[in-house]
Chain A
Amino acid sequence: MTLSASTTGADPAPPTGDGPSSPPAVAGWLLRGGLALAVLAVVVLTLVGGSGTGALTVAGLVLLAAGVATVVRPDSPGAVFLLLAAMAAHLMFDSAEIDVGVALLAALIAVVHQLAGICAAIPLDARVDVSALRPAALRLVVAIVVVELGIVLVTLIG
C-alpha cells in the first residue's frame, strides 16, 4: 500500500517549480574581473611609448602595486594612487600631443574610477542585477562619448 500525506498525517510536499523568472544579473566577482582588466590596460597604456628604462621600471612597479591594491581592496587609497601615478607618468613620459592614446587613457581612467567605486560597495559573492548598474553605465558612456567627441572636434579644427 502506498502511504500518502493524507493517510499518514505527513505534511504536504513543498511546492515545486521555478517560480517567477529572475532579472538578468552578473556575479560580483565579474565586476572585479572587469576592474582588473581596466587596471591592467591603464598600466600598459601608461608605460607604452615611454622612454628611460629605470624610470619606466619604477613607474611600472608603482602602478602595478597600486593596481593590485585597487583590485583587492577597491575601497582603499590604491585607486587614487594608481590614477594619480598614471597621470603623472603620462605627464613625464609622453608627449603633449592629443592622440588616440590620450583618448583611450582618459576613458580608462574614468572606467577604473567608476568600477572601483561600485566594486567597493558590492561584495564579491553578490548577484548583481543588471538594472542596478544601468544608470552608472549610462553616465560613464555619456561622459566618455562627450569627451571623445570633443577630442575629435578639437583635432579636426586644430
Chain B
Amino acid sequence: MTGPWRRTAAFYRALALVVFAVGMGLAAGRADVVILGAPLALGLLLALLARPVRPAAMAAPRSAASVGGTLVSRSTVGVTTDLDDLADAEFATVLLPDTTARPTGSTRTVAGSQTQLKSTLDSRSWGPTMLARPDLMAAGPDGLTVAGPGAAQEVWELVLPAVHATPPLQLPPINGGWAGAHLSRRPGQGNDLVDLRDYAPGDRMRSVHWRAYARLGKLYTRRTLSDADVDLMLCLDVRSNLGPRLPVEPASLIDRMLASIVDTVRLIRDSRSERAGGPGTRERLDAEQRARYTTLDHAVHAATAIGSAQLGAGDRVGVMTVSSDRRQIRPGSGTRHLQRIRYFLANLTASSRRVTPVAYWGLRPGTVVILCSPLTDDAAAVAAADCAARGHQVLVIDTLPGEQILRAAGGNDRDHLRILTLQRELRLESLRRAGIPVLNWEAGSIELQLATMLKALRGRR
C-alpha cells in the first residue's frame, strides 16, 4: 500500500545529476565535471541523513481547524489550526482562513516542528457558514518528498446575525398598557401630558404642576396618558431571496490570472490608502459584501436590529415567517430571548411556500406587526393590509436592495426591472394610502423614516 508521501522530481533529479557528473567525469577523465556534482551529492546525503526518504513508512500529515465561542457576523474571531504528524516533514504549507486581509484566505509555509497556527477571521456573512478548510501540503528535506496537497475537513459554524445599533422605534399611541416605553391612549400614570385639572384631595403631590401654581396661585394636577409596552411580531417574508447579479467567477486560466493581478493591484492600493489614513482592505471587502446583500440579508439584519432595540426598550418581541414554514417564536423579553431570535434568524433560508392567511398567524390582539418583505408581489401587501384591518398596528420594512439590483443588472434586464419597480411602487403607494408606514431598510435610519411618516399621517388626518 502506498502512503500519502511520494518522491518528487527533485529526488530523481539529484540522483540523475550525481550519476551523470560522476559517470561523465570518469569516462572523460575530467575531475572538474565530477566536482560539479559534488555539492549535489553532499547535499543529497545530508538531506537523507536529516530525514530518511521511505514514503511507505512515513506518517500521513493532518490538519484541523477549530473556532472557539459563539460566532457573530461582522466580528473578528480567532481560528486555531492544529498540525499533526509532521515529524517526517521539514516544512509544510497550510491554507489558513485568514480573511482579515484576503477574502480567499492566506497560504503560509511553516517549519515541520510547528504544531499549531493561529489566525484571525472576519465573519462577514451569517447563518451556517464554511469558515475554514486548512488544506495541507508537507514536504521533506529539499522537497525530495511531498505529501499532498490534501483537502482538510471543512469547519462549518452557525454565525449569528450581527445586531445593528438602532434606537427603539417610537410607535403611535397604543390602546391600553400600564408601563413601558411607548405612548398609550389610556389615561394613567405616565409621561405624556394631556392637560391640567383642579387639584382634588387624594391627588399625589408629585403630580401637582408647581409652575402653574407659581403663576396662578392655585393648585393644578397634571393629567397624563399611561405608558405602554407592546407585543411586537417580526414577520419575515422569505419566499424569495433576491439580490444583485453577482459577477461571473473567472473560469479560464487567463481570466483567473487577470483576476489575480487585479486583486493584487487592489491590495496594493488598499495598503497605500490605509497608510494614508483612508479605508483599507477590510473596509473594501465589507463594502463589497454590503453591495451583495440580498432581500434575506436585509430582512435578517432588520429583524435583528429592531428585535434587539425593542427588547432593550422593554417590549415583548416574537418572530415568524409569512409562509409559516418554521414554528414561530412567541413574543418574549430579555437578552436570552434575543439570543433565541438570533438563532431562529441564523437558520432562516428562503422557502417557496405560499403566504399563510393572517387568520392563522396566531397574533394576539394589540400585537404590533412589523412585516419585513421585498413586496415583489401582491400577497405580502395583502397580508399587511389584512393585519391592519384586524386592528393590528402594521409597519412594513422594505427589504429589496433595489438600487444595487438595478446597478448590477445587464442592459437586457434593466427595462424589465424598471417595469417591475413601477409595479412595486404602486403597491407601496397603496399601502401608504391605507395608513401603513413603509420604511426602507437599505436607506437606513428607519426610526427617523418612521417619525417623518407618522408626522405626515397625523397631518393628513
Which chain A residues have a beta carbon within 8 Å of chain B's beta carbons?
3, 5, 7-11, 14-15, 19-20, 25, 28, 75-77, 79-80, 83-84, 87-88, 90-91, 94, 96-98, 102-103, 105-107, 109-110, 113-114, 116-123, 125-129, 131-136, 139-140, 142-144, 146-147, 150-151
Query: Is B308 an interface residue, CB under 8 A from the partner?
Result: yes
Do B9 and A77 have beta carbons less than 8 Å apart?
Answer: yes
CA distance A102 to B106 in the complex (A): 41
Q: How far is the CB of A71 from chain B (nearest CB, A)?
A: 15
With A10-B165, A91-B33, A132-B111 as contacts: A123 and B14 at CB distance below 8 Å = no
Do A5 and B139 have beta carbons less than 8 Å apart?
Answer: no
Do A96 and B109 have beta carbons less than 8 Å apart?
Answer: no
Do B47 and A139 have beta carbons less than 8 Å apart?
Answer: yes
CA distance A107 to B43 in the complex (A): 11
Known: A20-B118, A114-B142, A139-B141. 18 other contacts (CB 8 A): A10-B162, A10-B164, A11-B162, A75-B9, A96-B29, A96-B30, A117-B10, A117-B13, A118-B142, A121-B137, A122-B93, A123-B93, A129-B108, A129-B109, A132-B112, A135-B50, A139-B47, A150-B38
Counting residue pairs across A and B whose Cβ atoms lie within 8 Å, the total is: 196
CA distance A129 to B309 in the complex (A): 47
Query: Is B144 an interface residue, CB under 8 A from the partner?
Result: yes
Q: Most chain-B CB neighbours within 10 Å: which of A3, A83, A151?
A: A83
Do B120 and A106 have beta carbons less than 8 Å apart?
Answer: no
Do B9 and A28 have beta carbons less than 8 Å apart?
Answer: no
Contact with A along B35-49 (1 / 0, CB 8 A): 111111011001100
Query: Is B426 an interface residue, CB under 8 A from the partner?
Result: no
Q: How far is the CB of A89 from chain B (nearest CB, A)?
A: 11
Residue of B13, B110, B142 near A139 (CB, 8 A) is B142
Query: Is B335 an interface residue, CB under 8 A from the partner?
Result: yes
CA distance A150 to B38 in the complex (A): 10
Give the chain A neighbours of B20 by CB distance below 8 A.
Answer: 84, 87
Q: Which residue of A lies closest to B28 (CB)?
A: A91
CA distance A47 to B20 in the complex (A): 20
Do A135 and B141 have beta carbons less than 8 Å apart?
Answer: yes
CA distance A140 to B44 in the complex (A): 10
Report B57-100 residues with CB < 8 Å from chain A CB.
Answer: 72, 74-76, 90-93
Do B146 and A121 have beta carbons less than 8 Å apart?
Answer: yes
Do A28 and B39 have beta carbons less than 8 Å apart?
Answer: no
Contact with A along B115-146 (1 / 0, CB 8 A): 00010100000000000000001010111101
Residue of A107, A117, A136, A147 near B8 (CB, 8 A) is A117
Query: Is B286 an interface residue, CB under 8 A from the partner?
Result: no
Do B43 and A127 have beta carbons less than 8 Å apart?
Answer: no
8 contacts between A and B (CB under 8 A): A75-B9, A79-B9, A106-B38, A114-B142, A120-B143, A121-B137, A121-B139, A142-B42
Do B141 and A8 have beta carbons less than 8 Å apart?
Answer: no
Report B2-18 residues with CB < 8 Å from chain A CB.
Answer: 8-10, 12-14, 16-17
Do B13 and A80 have beta carbons less than 8 Å apart?
Answer: yes
Q: Which residue of A lies closest to B77 (CB)?
A: A14
Do A84 and B32 have beta carbons less than 8 Å apart?
Answer: no
Do A8 and B10 have beta carbons less than 8 Å apart?
Answer: no
Do A105 and B36 have beta carbons less than 8 Å apart?
Answer: yes
Q: How far is the CB of A90 from chain B (nearest CB, A)?
A: 7
Which chain B residues have a beta carbon within 8 Å of chain A's beta carbons?
8-10, 12-14, 16-17, 20-21, 24, 28-33, 35-40, 42-43, 46-47, 50, 72, 74-76, 90-93, 106-112, 114, 118, 120, 137, 139, 141-144, 146, 162-167, 308-309, 311-312, 335, 338
Do A136 and B13 have beta carbons less than 8 Å apart?
Answer: no
Q: Which residue of B lies closest to A98 (CB)?
A: B32
Give the chain A neighbours of B311 by CB distance below 8 A.
Answer: 9
CA distance A142 to B47 in the complex (A): 11
Give the chain A neighbours of B146 by CB distance below 8 A.
Answer: 120-121
Residue of A76, A105, A122 near B9 (CB, 8 A) is A76
Q: How far is the CB of A156 from chain B (nearest CB, A)?
A: 15
Q: How far is the CB of B4 from chain A (nearest CB, A)?
A: 14
With A20-B118, A122-B109, A129-B109 as contacts: A9 and B36 at CB distance below 8 Å = no
Do B35 and A109 have beta carbons less than 8 Å apart?
Answer: no
Q: Most chain-A CB neighbours within 10 Å: which of B38, B112, B311?
A: B38
Give the chain B neighbours of A96 by CB distance below 8 A.
Answer: 29-32
CA distance A20 to B118 in the complex (A): 9
Do B308 and A9 have beta carbons less than 8 Å apart?
Answer: yes
Do A142 and B35 have beta carbons less than 8 Å apart?
Answer: no
CA distance A146 to B107 in the complex (A): 35
With A110-B39, A117-B144 as contacts: A132 and B75 at CB distance below 8 Å = no
Give the chain B neighbours of A126 by CB distance below 8 A.
Answer: 93, 107-109
Do B93 and A147 have beta carbons less than 8 Å apart?
Answer: no
Do A8 and B165 have beta carbons less than 8 Å apart?
Answer: yes
Q: How far is the CB of B170 from chain A (nearest CB, A)?
A: 14
Do A90 and B90 have beta carbons less than 8 Å apart?
Answer: no
Do A90 and B312 have beta carbons less than 8 Å apart?
Answer: no
Do B9 and A139 have beta carbons less than 8 Å apart?
Answer: no
